[in-house]
């Protein structure tokens, strides 16, 4: 093709410059809000004694899973304390929780919208393919340009990297609800909003929670990359260990990341068990024996074993 070359990179540079000049105020506002939320959560996790935080996680683990998970949570967090990585682990946990919460708050509504509108689904799918296949390090470039260095660009890159599975699995879960059950809701005069809240979302909850789990796991996988832009925490320790060729420090920080990942994974996996509230379904189809049959059908569907999807594509 000779010297012919499409200046795609130049176009992207020009577009980024345009955004930076025209929307700098917006990026500054986003950075301020994220910094305040992150600093507040970081202070909340680091200020109390580590025993308090461990006790909170142990109670939560016991409530959702039982004694084994609670005991494993306590032992894992005590190991983090014993190797001197507690404060870094809390910094990382704060970053992951903030980024995951924002990614979930975006991905679930978008997934619901895509499930209910075929045009939106077709428009969202290539964007999700792009987000999932783009190398993670590439997200750091616009994040640094728009937000500088520190925890904020790390959170922005994490949000972009973790969005896709939440959207895909939410859409998959909503679309996977038995059409006959939805039609039964329509037959009893329920509005689309009530059908969504009281039939589709409860029955799709296992798939949605699997998406939440994947969002959190992908957020944790970005910890090291976030450390490269000054986010600190365990990612910063791993980056420092790479610079010093310090195997011991890298192993300690890496083990701490693994422990946090295992705890969050077990907690969110336990919450993904199929559940449906009889009272909500009864409100949807209240009145008559036919309504009771509809409620029973919803509950049988929710209680039946459902094969969870493993592929995100």
Task: Give the span between the Cα atoms of 289 and 293, in whole angstroms.
Answer: 6
> What's the pLDDT at 276?
43
pTM of the model: 0.80
**pLDDT higher at 172 or 179:** 172
Can you read off the two tokens belonging to residue 51? 């025993």
- Residues 273-297, mean pLDDT to the nearest whole number: 44
User: Predicted confidence band at 110 (pLDDT cuts at 50, 70, 90)?
Assistant: very high
Mean pLDDT of the chain: 82
Assess contact for 96 and 219: CB atoms under 8 A. Answer: yes
Percent of the chain past pLDDT 70, that is, above it, reads: 86
User: Predicted confidence band at 2 (pLDDT cuts at 50, 70, 90)?
Assistant: low
Sequence-separated (6 or more) residues with CB below 8 Å from residue 30? 147, 152
- Residues 154-159, mean pLDDT to the nearest whole number: 88
- Can you say whether the dihedral through the CA atoms of 102, 108, 111, 117 is positive or negative? negative
Task: Give the span between the Cα atoms of 61 and 123, in whole angstroms.
Answer: 39
- In the chain, DSSP finds a helix count (H) and a strand count (E) of 16, 0
> What's the pLDDT at 304?
53
Phi then psi for residue 270, to 5 deg, are: -65, -35
Can you read off the two tokens belonging to residue 131? 């987000």
- Can you say whether the dihedral through the CA atoms of 114, 119, 124, 125 is positive or negative? positive
Could you identify the residue written with the tokens 């992150």? 38
Assess contact for 84 and 20: CB atoms under 8 A. Answer: no
Most confident option among 143-152, 241-250, 304-313: 241-250
- Residues 109-133, mean pLDDT to the nearest whole number: 90
Tell me how many degrees the CA angle 106-225-73 measures, rounded to the nearest 5.
Answer: 75
Is pLDDT of 100 > 60?
yes
Assess contact for 95 and 150: CB atoms under 8 A. Answer: no
Assess contact for 95 and 226: CB atoms under 8 A. Answer: yes
Is pLDDT of 98 > 60?
yes
Is pLDDT of 140 > 90?
no
Sequence-separated (6 or more) residues with CB below 8 Å from residue 133? none
- Per DSSP, the three-state class of 175 is helix
- Residues 47-51, mean pLDDT to the nearest whole number: 91
Label residues 189-227 b or e (16+ Cβ within 10 Å = b): ebeeebbbebbbbbbbbbbbbbbbbbbbbbbbbbbbbbb
Domains, the chain, ordered by start: 9-47+83-303 (1.10.3720.10)
Q: Which of 164, 273, 132, 160 is nearest to 209 (CA)?
A: 273
- What's the gap between Cα 111 and its chain centre? 13
Label residues 141-173 b or e (16+ Cβ within 10 Å = b): ebbbebbeebbbbbbbbbbbbbbbbbbbbbbbb
Most confident option among 176-190, 255-269, 274-288: 255-269
User: Predicted confidence band at 102 (pLDDT cuts at 50, 70, 90)?
Assistant: very high
Lowest mean pLDDT among 1-15, 51-65, 257-271: 1-15
């Amino acid at each position: 093709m000779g010297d012919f070359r499409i200046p795609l990179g130049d176009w992207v540079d020009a577009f980024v410059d345009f955004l930076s000049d025209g929307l700098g105020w917006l990026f500054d506002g986003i950075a301020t809000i994220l910094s305040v939320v992150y600093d507040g959560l970081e202070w909340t996790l680091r200020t109390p004694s580590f025993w308090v935080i461990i006790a909170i996680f142990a109670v939560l683990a016991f409530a959702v899973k039982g004694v084994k998970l609670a005991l494993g949570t306590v032992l894992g967090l005590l190991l983090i304390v014993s190797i001197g990585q507690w404060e870094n682990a809390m910094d990382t946990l704060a970053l992951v929780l903030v980024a995951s919460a924002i990614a979930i708050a975006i991905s679930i509504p978008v997934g619901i919208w895509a499930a209910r509108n075929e045009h939106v689904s077709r428009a969202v799918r290539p964007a999700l393919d792009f987000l999932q296949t783009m190398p993670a390090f590439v997200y750091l470039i616009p994040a640094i340009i728009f937000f500088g260095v520190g925890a904020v660009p790390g959170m922005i890159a994490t949000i972009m990297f973790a969005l896709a599975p939440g959207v895909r699995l939410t859409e998959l879960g909503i679309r996977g609800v038995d059409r006959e059950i939805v039609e039964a809701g329509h037959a009893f005069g329920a509005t689309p909003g009530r059908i969504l809240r009281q039939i589709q979302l409860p029955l799709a909850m296992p798939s949605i929670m699997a998406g939440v789990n994947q969002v959190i796991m992908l957020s944790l996988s970005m910890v090291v990359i976030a450390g490269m832009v000054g986010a600190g925490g365990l990612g910063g320790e791993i980056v420092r260990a790479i610079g010093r060729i310090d195997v011991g420090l890298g192993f300690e920080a890496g083990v701490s990341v693994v422990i946090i990942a295992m705890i969050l994974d077990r907690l969110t996996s336990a919450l993904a068990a199929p559940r449906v509230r009889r009272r909500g379904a009864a409100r949807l189809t209240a009145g008559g024996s036919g309504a009771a049959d509809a409620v029973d059908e919803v509950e049988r569907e929710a209680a039946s074993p459902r094969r969870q999807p493993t592929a995100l594509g």
